[in-house]
Structure 1
Amino acid sequence: MRREGTLGQASNIIRTISNQDAEYRYRVEEADNRIHPNKGSRCHSIHDTTEKEIISWEADDKENPYNWSNSTFSLLCWTRLTLSQKRKLSIFVMTIAGVINSTMGSSLPSMAVPYMTQEWDVTSETQKVLPISTFLIGYVLGPLLWGPLSEHFGRRYLSIITLSLFTIWTLGCAIAPNWPAFLVFRFLCGAFGSAPIAIVTGQLADIHKDFVTRGNTSPIIAGFCSTTIGWRWTFWIALIYAVVTLVPVIFLLPETYAPVLLSRRAQNIRKADPTAQVYAAFELEDKDIKQVITRVLTRPVRMILTETIVSSTCLYLALVYAIFYISFGAFPIIFQQLYGLSPGVTGLLFLPIIGGVILALGTFFTWGSFLRKSKEQNRPWTKKEEYNRVPLAAIGGPLFAISLFWLGFSARKDVHYAVPSLAGIGFGVGYQLIFMGMLNYLTDAYEIFAASANAASSSSRSFLAVLLPLATTSMFDQLGISGSLSLLGGLSLLLSGVPFVFLWKGERIRAGSAFCIALKEEKLEMERRAKLDWQRRSVSANILQEKEESP
């Protein structure tokens, strides 16, 4: 009974914090959009505004990121794009480049490990997976900071700082004098390299609702560099790419977080006129350390512990992500030990996975076009939130599981290595569709807290990706290739039911979610007040017009 009472109290505390979190964020949103809150509002997170003018977006304000013109994302017609279209396109390109930078760094040593361990006389099989595992430990911790902090302080400077330090730590990997130093640098690379995974969803949500593309070319780089010009060049090439990514981020990436942009506008007004009492709602927020710790930094953890949508999505994505990293240990076992291929050729066999990712992107755009047309036709099924993106994961899940069974049962000496390598196509399609479907669903369900929801997902899946690859060698030794991949395929097939459960009962699950309920209530209240506010302004404008027209 005492335990149940303690759990109940903890649940009530978490629910209260979540409700205050959602309420506060929507109050700032209302102030930013010139919506007058009701008298007696329950939210007390914004300081007293007596004798202070709260600045907000004007109608069709050009500095509001939502009003930046959409582009067709075609580089061929760059000269025809407006300045705001170029800005949106540049943000899209830079964020995608940042995610590729981060993802490439995570698996970079996959084909180089035998050469670096040989140089430093590392013989333990457990230690040989540490170059990837230490990076992923940083991936566990980093998003818990970067996601919520980007929702509190903005995106631009956090992106610059984290990418700059990621570049420095990548340099450290290239010149590491010994094994322990190398592992420390890899951990720091993971901690700071995880920032784009957590921040990008927020950046793109700031300007439009879109997806985050991920890519992976590192096994090819590592496979050939390690056998030709040395394993350190694997990291020198990664450093070059990091610098190429960093330069435009420093000079071209604009701030997209609306509260920060309004704060800057207010600061410029006060600078021009020191007597002006003009502020943005974001400036009047309580930013003491207690608020940051209890409300901001705990947000991803609260979501994992209390939100069924987040916890089940995290579990599914964690397994898929861990299997992705297991593949970096499994490919050498299959294609080098079984088929006797070189590390460089083995690296090339990751190309079918990349081909599958490209096919998945085509599927994504095709589905997006179909969904848009269906919404225009007002078809009933489009009104259900789960049908926006979850069907992609429902397709990808079985494909991913089938690809593992295919690889496991076709990897035999009497079967040409091209046959198991083609399983990578289904692997890439399934992996990408699962992630695009589930992560977009998180963004749709948690809206203004999308960065925190994705940070929760990133940290949890990285945690499992640290642990499972440690058992790769022993698992393949005991169960064999077919047994190991059948086990992974069976687990994947079991959890592939998660998207189908969301399609079936997603609305009911969201209805029982404290976070979703709070968000929905505050959003509906804000929309109601926005409508009333618009009606009041329309009536006032009509009265004023009638007075001007009257003789």
Structure 2
Amino acid sequence: MSPQNIPPERPIPIEDLHALLREIIPQHQHQEHTATADTNATLESSVRQHGQPTRVQPPLTTTNTTINTNTTALPLANDDNRIMRALRWRRAGNRGSHNAQSEHVPVPIRPSDCGDGMPTRWTEEVKRRVLWVIFLVQVSMNLNTTLYSNGLEGIAAEFGVTTFQVRWGGAAAFLIAYAFGCELWAPWSEEYGRREVLQASLLFVNIFALVTGLSTTWYGHIIGRTLGGLSSAGGSVTLALISDMYDPHTPGHQYATAFIVLSSVGGSLLGPIFGGFVELYLAWRWVIWIQLLFGVFVQGLHYFLVPETRATIVMDTIAKEKRKADPSCKLYGPTEMAGKKCLKWSEIMVIWMRPFKMFLTEPIVLVSSLLSGFSDALIFMMVQSYGLVYQQWGFGTLLIGCAFIPIGIGYGIGYCLARYFIKRQILLRLRKPYCERAQYEARLFWLLWTAPLLPIGLLIFAFGTSFTSQPVHWIFSMIGACLIGIANYAIYMGTIDYVLRAYGPYAASATGGNGWARDFLAGVLTPYAVPLYVSLILT
């Protein structure tokens, strides 16, 4: 019975229905018992009088009994009809309620329902476009760390402080805050999507760059730089975009990782290379304005060209579009099915502390992070020390900036080597699909040949730039710098690639420890680079 055919009479409450049944059933039993007793009494009297039983007709054969019986049955029939009508009404109501609920039961959407909307199914053209924008985003974030060094003299003269205070208050404060900012932004990208979080990060970085440039006090300058570093999402989010678009088992995942790593290490070189022109021909505030202009440009590119890549957020969006196009559609995304989740401070602290816990308790993360952090810290120390060591050859501001080009060449060579070894690793995995060494440890094999280039390059650079009565040719120091660039790229790429594959769903936290070590060690060691070189020269 459909809900439209339900009798209009008001249904009997279940308590009244139960009481009515209890009253009716004893009446049936009493009437049957009375009729049976009368029949038995008649039979007994007949036996006593005639010695044999007399056949007694049932009461229903007489007219009076029939009338009385029908008269008694009328209320009973009415009561039965009333009870059955109420039961049918309840049954129809429950069925209608169940049908109404079943029409609105949400059905979780599956990746197969999303078609080509899933990031892993995007065309290669779309993926390359996203990678190029993320490349520029990463360059912008690293440009903020190194271009600042070309304004040290002007900042110190503006605010009446020493250059050592500027290295601590402006350069080191940004790097140390950057190290913690990477870990603070990563959990929110899992909840609200990569695009929104990265847009918020870029927006706050640009705002605090504006605060830094307009500040007229030293403390306001420090606050702007510190909050700008804390607002930088860094590689914890940009590397997550690679995992969103590429399956970790596919070759595209490794190639994309190599490309983004190149942007991370290469972006730190654009500052000193082009910073020489800014330092020579422009005021120190242009160091901040260039960062701001490039940051706004990159944020615009990211806003218009990069869609959301987080799988759960993409599925939510597709489900909403399907329901909007077809009102009868019952598909809902994962976040919609889970409902609004209110994160507690205890949960937030657990998420934020996970990278640091893995950094201290996981040997793989600890060793790879220290190796990568130490090599990256050397690059930032060299940014501070180039101005001293190349003065003995008469290098000016522009030539000192150009002296960083060999490190960039080393990064390019390291990227080419990475692509070559990735091809070898792919062939090895195809030959040995069930070998764990082929799946994991083979990714670190090329570090056996490239990581030793770091101490070799340091030794060549040290002897090539040593202050002697007759210094050797500057080309030897640049050869050493090129070897350092190859080793730095290989160490960063090798460790990130291995950690991403080894830790699976916890790769974001594991790579977060790597990024934290690189930025934190660089921030702590950068201010002491110049005093170290000055003391070595004097002794």
Mark yes or no: TM-score above 0.5.
yes
- On the 8 A contact 1:201/1:450 being kept in 2, the answer is no
- On the 8 A contact 2:114/2:318 being kept in 1, the answer is no
Report the secondary structure of 2:332's partner residue: strand
Q: Which of these residues, 325, 331, 335, is aligned with residue 386 of structure 2?
A: 331
**Counterparts of 1:249 and 1:124, CA distance in 2:** 36
Corresponding position of 1:280: 333
1:54 partnered with 2:108: yes
**Counterparts of 1:292 and 1:394, CA distance in 2:** 40
- On the 8 A contact 2:150/2:287 being kept in 1, the answer is no
Report the secondary structure of 2:473's partner residue: coil
Q: Which of these residues, 417, 424, 433, is aligned with residue 490 of structure 2?
A: 433
1:137 maps to amino acid: I
What percentage of aligned pairs have identical amino acids?
25
Q: Which of these residues, 514, 519, 525, is aligned with residue 457 of structure 1?
A: 514
Corresponding position of 2:167: 128
- Root-mean-square deviation over aligned CA pairs: 2.6
2:288 maps to amino acid: F
Cα 1:360–1:122, aligned 2, differ >3 Å: closer, same or farther? same
- On the 8 A contact 2:106/2:337 being kept in 1, the answer is no
Task: Report how far residue 421 of structure 1 moved.
Answer: 2.5
Q: Where in structure 1 are there 5+ consecutive unaligned residues?
A: 1-49, 72-84, 484-551
- On the 8 A contact 1:148/1:296 being kept in 2, the answer is yes
Cα 1:392–1:319, aligned 2, differ >3 Å: closer, same or farther? same
Report the secondary structure of 1:255's partner residue: coil
Task: Report how far residue 299 of structure 1 moved.
Answer: 2.5
Cα 1:407–1:364, aligned 2, differ >3 Å: closer, same or farther? same
- On the 8 A contact 1:66/1:206 being kept in 2, the answer is yes
Q: Which of these residues, 137, 150, 162, is aligned with residue 98 of structure 1?
A: 137
TM-score (structure 1 length as normaliser)? 0.70
**Counterparts of 1:58 and 1:220, CA distance in 2:** 48
**Counterparts of 1:122 and 1:295, CA distance in 2:** 40
Report the secondary structure of 1:305's partner residue: helix
Corresponding position of 2:241: 203
Corresponding position of 1:321: 376
Corresponding position of 1:526: none
- On the 8 A contact 1:381/1:387 being kept in 2, the answer is no
Report the secondary structure of 2:108's partner residue: strand
**Counterparts of 2:416 and 2:327, CA distance in 1:** 54
Task: Report how far residue 132 of structure 1 moved.
Answer: 1.4
Q: Where in structure 2 are there 5+ consecutive unaligned residues?
A: 1-103, 247-252
Q: Which of these residues, 204, 223, 235, is aligned with residue 288 of structure 2?
A: 235
Corresponding position of 1:539: none
Report the secondary structure of 2:111's partner residue: coil
1:467 partnered with 2:524: yes
1:222 partnered with 2:279: no
**Counterparts of 2:220 and 2:503, CA distance in 1:** 40
1:108 partnered with 2:108: no
- On the 8 A contact 1:219/1:350 being kept in 2, the answer is yes
- On the 8 A contact 2:150/2:272 being kept in 1, the answer is yes
**Counterparts of 1:355 and 1:90, CA distance in 2:** 24
**Counterparts of 1:173 and 1:127, CA distance in 2:** 13
CA-to-aligned-CA distance 1:425-473 (integer Å, 9 cap, x gap): 1111111111011111111112233332222221233222222223223
2:278 maps to amino acid: C
- On the 8 A contact 2:411/2:485 being kept in 1, the answer is yes
Cα 1:59–1:261, aligned 2, differ >3 Å: closer, same or farther? closer
**Counterparts of 1:179 and 1:342, CA distance in 2:** 29
Corresponding position of 1:355: 409
CA-to-aligned-CA distance 1:400-424 (integer Å, 9 cap, x gap): 1111111111113521223213321
Question: Rg bigger for which structure?
Answer: 2
1:310 maps to amino acid: V
Corresponding position of 2:189: 150
Higher RCO (C-alpha 8 Å, min separation 6): 1
1:411 maps to amino acid: T
1:250 partnered with 2:303: yes
Q: Which of these residues, 427, 430, 445, is aligned with residue 502 of structure 2?
A: 445
- On the 8 A contact 2:372/2:492 being kept in 1, the answer is yes
Report the secondary structure of 2:320's partner residue: helix
